[in-house]
């Protein structure tokens, strides 16, 4: 599944929070958000795609989940935060190369073809990861360790990048072939750029096989590299991207341009991104995986960058100019996104209110970002009661409708979209501030459900108002329009 991820360390954020966000770019996958309480968590899990049965521990903790509404291919929970205030996002589909995949093949499932045969289970995949890991971890580091053990035991049938974070640490894990993996802690003052490409460009191998302070990996990784002649770095520096990643022509139109635009936004003066003698271009293979931003990063920054489509560049698909470069690169904010969530863990408030998910449904250039408290027993129906039928009664479908109408009438509608995004975000901050104070006064977690209801009521009003406006603008552009003055 093609996605884009950004990770933010606590000293790189505006308020000391750790934040992770990811565009879940399925093929217009219908999404909702729910709370999975311990009694609802299975004790024996069977994946749909991998056909793999796994016994789960008896002590799960509650967590939020963003599953697919259509369960034909499994649960597919895109991200979540558990009651220990640990967040997980899964997954960023990444790339590899033939040498790695030949040395440790992916573990594909195989359905029986003839009478008397049995299905052959495969490994674990994006369908499974949040369900198998998030209910059983108390820190981000524990998430890396648990998932790493599952990958080594069961293998995987796809290449994935997975993020974990708590209030102190942000970790990024990338799978390598069928059974290997590598993970690195994001430095507190850095943010991470992740399109659909193997990302890690630095790794302290001594730390990974020593104290494991900021680096971890599968136990036989060095032996695996040496045995299969994978390290062709010629400067003595261990660069995982060179060893395990890809540098293909398709990367240069699909992946690296997204990394270029993200770096250009957060570090406009650190490097030269445009023109002759640019340090990095949209097709550079060596854009850094992590950087210290030139200013602190906010949820609004993350929403903007994960909604972006090369604004201010010749590659903007909505520009009026007839430039041959228009739309040649895959945008970050793409049409088919199902959900984007910014998971935020705030260190300066009580444990019960530390975790917030900023939710966006549908195509990010045209939707808004709604914050919700996660330490609740259930979410409001406006975000949790979503069906496959189009309806304005939920946040998913109303944003899908707004996006389709605004995309086709960009020039006439974009000002309504910008006002919509600003209003929901501003009122979201206002209500969170109000209920942070209410909780501190009452210490009653039930006020958090009250807050979420108020937030959803606000979002519903703002979304309906925006839908009314973009529908009117789109109506004016209908090809069957006619009046007497047209004669």
Q: Look up 3 and say whether it is catalytic.
A: yes
- Answer for the pair 5, 79: CB distance below 8 angstroms, yes or no: no
- Answer for the pair 340, 24: CB distance below 8 angstroms, yes or no: yes
Place of tokens 């992916």: 106
**Three-state SS for 398?**
helix
- Enclosing H/E stretch for 201: none
- Answer for the pair 422, 462: CB distance below 8 angstroms, yes or no: no
- Strands 191-194 and 355-361 come out as unpaired
Q: Could you tell me the two tokens for 183?
A: 């993970």
Q: Give the CB-side neighbour count of residue 432, counting CA atoms within 13 A.
A: 20
DSSP string across 420-441: HHHHHHHHHHHHHHHHHHHHHH
Q: Could you tell me the two tokens for 376?
A: 């609740």
- Answer for the pair 159, 94: CB distance below 8 angstroms, yes or no: yes
Q: Which of 3, 217, 413, 456 is catalytic?
A: 3
**Three-state SS for 268?**
coil
- Strands 370-373 and 4-8 come out as unpaired
Q: Could you tell me the two tokens for 475?
A: 């109506």
Residue numbers annotated as active site:
3
């Amino acid at each position: 599944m093609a996605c884009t991820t950004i990770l933010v360390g606590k000293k790189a954020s505006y308020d000391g929070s750790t934040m992770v966000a990811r565009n879940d770019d399925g093929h217009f996958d219908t999404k909702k958000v729910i709370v999975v309480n311990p009694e609802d968590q299975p004790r024996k899990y069977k994946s749909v795609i991998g056909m793999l049965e796994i016994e789960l521990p008896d002590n799960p903790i509650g967590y939020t989940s963003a599953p697919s509404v259509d369960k034909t291919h499994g649960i597919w929970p895109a991200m979540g935060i558990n009651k220990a205030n640990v967040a997980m996002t899964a997954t960023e589909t990444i790339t590899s190369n033939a040498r790695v995949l030949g040395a440790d093949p992916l573990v594909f499932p195989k359905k029986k073809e003839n009478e008397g045969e049995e299905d052959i289970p495969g490994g674990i995949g994006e369908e499974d990861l949040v369900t198998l890991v998030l209910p059983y971890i108390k820190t981000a580091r524990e998430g890396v360790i648990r998932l790493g053990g599952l990958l080594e035991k069961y293998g995987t049938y796809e290449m994935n990048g997975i993020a974990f974070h708590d209030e102190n640490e942000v970790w990024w894990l990338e799978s390598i072939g069928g059974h290997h993996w590598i993970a690195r802690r994001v430095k507190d003052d850095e943010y991470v750029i992740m399109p659909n490409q193997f990302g890690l460009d630095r790794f302290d191998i001594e730390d990974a096989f020593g104290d494991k302070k900021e680096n971890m990996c599968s136990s036989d990784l060095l032996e695996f590299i040496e045995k299969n002649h994978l390290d062709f770095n010629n400067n003595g520096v261990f660069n995982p991207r060179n060893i395990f990643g890809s540098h293909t022509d398709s990367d240069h139109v699909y992946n690296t341009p997204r990394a270029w635009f993200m770096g250009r936004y957060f570090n406009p003066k650190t490097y030269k991104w445009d023109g002759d003698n640019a340090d990095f271009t949209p097709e550079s293979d060596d854009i850094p995986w992590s950087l210290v931003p030139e200013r602190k990063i906010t949820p609004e920054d993350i929403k903007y960058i994960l909604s972006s489509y090369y604004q201010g560049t010749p590659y903007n698909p909505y520009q009026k100019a007839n430039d041959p470069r228009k739309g040649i690169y895959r945008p970050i904010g793409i049409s088919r996104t199902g959900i984007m969530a910014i998971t935020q863990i705030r260190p300066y408030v009580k444990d019960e209110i530390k975790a917030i998910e900023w939710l966006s449904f549908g195509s990010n250039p045209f939707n808004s970002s709604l914050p919700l408290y996660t330490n609740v027993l259930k979410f409001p129906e406006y975000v949790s009661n979503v069906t496959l039928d189009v309806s304005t009664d939920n946040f998913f479908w109303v944003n899908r409708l707004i996006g389709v109408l605004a995309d086709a009438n960009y020039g006439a509608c974009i000002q309504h979209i910008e006002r919509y995004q600003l209003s929901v975000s501003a009122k979201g901050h206002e209500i969170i501030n109000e209920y942070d104070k209410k909780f501190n006064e009452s210490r009653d977690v039930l006020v958090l459900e009250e807050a979420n209801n108020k937030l959803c009521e606000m979002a519903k009003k703002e979304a309906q108002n925006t839908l009314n406006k973009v529908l009117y603008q789109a109506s004016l552009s209908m090809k069957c329009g006619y009046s007497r003055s047209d004669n």
